[in-house]
Amino acid sequence: MPPVDAEIMTETAYAKVNLALHVRERRADGYHALESLFVFADHGDRLEGEVTADGRLHLRIDGPFGAGLDTGADNLVIKAAHALQTHVGELRGATLRLTKNLPVASGIGGGSADAAASLRLLARLWGISVPMGDMARIALSLGSDVPACLSSVTQMVHGRGEILAQHPVEGLANRSMLLVNPGIGLSTAQVFAGWDRLDRGPLNVTSLDRLIAEGRNDLEAAARTAAPAITTVLDSLAQCDGVRLVRMSGSGATCFALFDAEKAMAAAARIISATHPQWWVAPTRIRDA
């Protein structure tokens, strides 16, 4: 157990949103080459922790989506902690508490964001400095989205997630964004299996207008087939006043809408919550960081 006066530190595992996701050719290593613009919401899971002297890692999970989640070695928070502990030869451990506010298997990087938050939090807790290249390699070993989640800033992502470049787009920072999930978890492998294998061309993110007009999510059709409720979510968002862009994030089932005004987003959130009380509805904004 940690000492009574142990300092508790916290990190937010920010929700990742693919404003566009273009799936290109299949690589020799079996992964698909992706092109995606990642943004991050202010909304996310919460991870807190304190140092222990026994070298062991303990995790408990609560929150609206915490029920039934594994707290053992297969949890990405613990995997990340073990990987960092091993890399630096850290002899201390930690007690961690994850408050799961994001739906599971929902296309907004919940597990990846949790893993990245674990790496950030434990580096602070243990007072260690890890070169960014080493941290990025640890992150990639945990999952394709984890490296981008380390910084949780707007960025272009290529390859399987290992090629990153910060890419602010005028008009995105602090923009109102509504996240909606119909209460369905989707397997990324299942959605990829249903993808039509067509390369429809590169992603242009030179402006918000080009992103809206020419961007797409190449996994959306397969996800709609696997979970028809996604179509209902997208249609509901598209009918809201003041909406600028409606699209699915990642492999689904979470969808998002961008708004020019916070007031319009708030109205949309109230309407959708009242019409579909079983859906997860999260009014938020794109992080300016």
**pLDDT given at position 26:** 78
Instruction: Give the least confident one: 26-30, 41-45, 198-202.
Output: 26-30
**Residue ranges, CATH 3.30.230.10, the chain:** 9-166
Is the model's pLDDT at 150 over the cut of 60?
A: yes
**pLDDT given at position 6:** 65
- Closest-CA residue to 40 (of 117, 205, 153, 143): 153
**Residue ranges, CATH 3.30.70.890, the chain:** 176-285
The CA distance from 154 to 249, in Å, is 14
- Closest-CA residue to 80 (of 59, 104, 102, 103): 59
What's the token pair of residue 201?
A: 């061309």
Q: Which residues are marked as active site?
A: 16, 145
Calculate mean pLDDT across residues 39-56. Answer: 97
More confident residue, 128 or 26: 128
**pLDDT given at position 32:** 77
- Closest-CA residue to 148 (of 108, 88, 204, 193): 108
What's the token pair of residue 283?
A: 């009014």
Calculate mean pLDDT across residues 23-47. Answer: 90
Architecture of domain 9-166: 2-Layer Sandwich (3.30)
In percent, the amount of the chain with pLDDT more than 70 equals 98
Partners of 285 in the β-ladder: 176
pLDDT band at 160 (very low <50, low <70, confident <90, very high): confident
Is the model's pLDDT at 4 over the cut of 70?
A: no
pLDDT (tens digit, 9 = 90+) per residue, 234-251?
A: 999 999 999 999 999 999
Q: Are 177 and 183 in contact (CB under 8 A)?
A: no
Peptide bond into 253 cis (omega under 30): yes
Calculate mean pLDDT across residues 253-276. Answer: 98
- Would you say how long the chain is, in residues? 289
pLDDT (tens digit, 9 = 90+) per residue, 62-111?
A: 999 999 899 999 999 999 999 999 999 999 999 999 999 999 999 999 99
Note the pTM of the prediction, 2 decimals: 0.94
pLDDT (tens digit, 9 = 90+) per residue, 103-112?
A: 999 999 999 9
Calculate mean pLDDT across residues 253-265. Answer: 98
The CA distance from 44 to 190, in Å, is 25
**pLDDT given at position 2:** 45
Q: How far is CA 287 from the centre of its chain?
A: 13
- Cβ-based neighbours of 222, under 8 Å, separated by 6 or more: 191, 192, 193, 194, 195, 196
Give the CATH H-level superfamily of domain 176-285.
GHMP kinase, C-terminal domain (3.30.70.890)
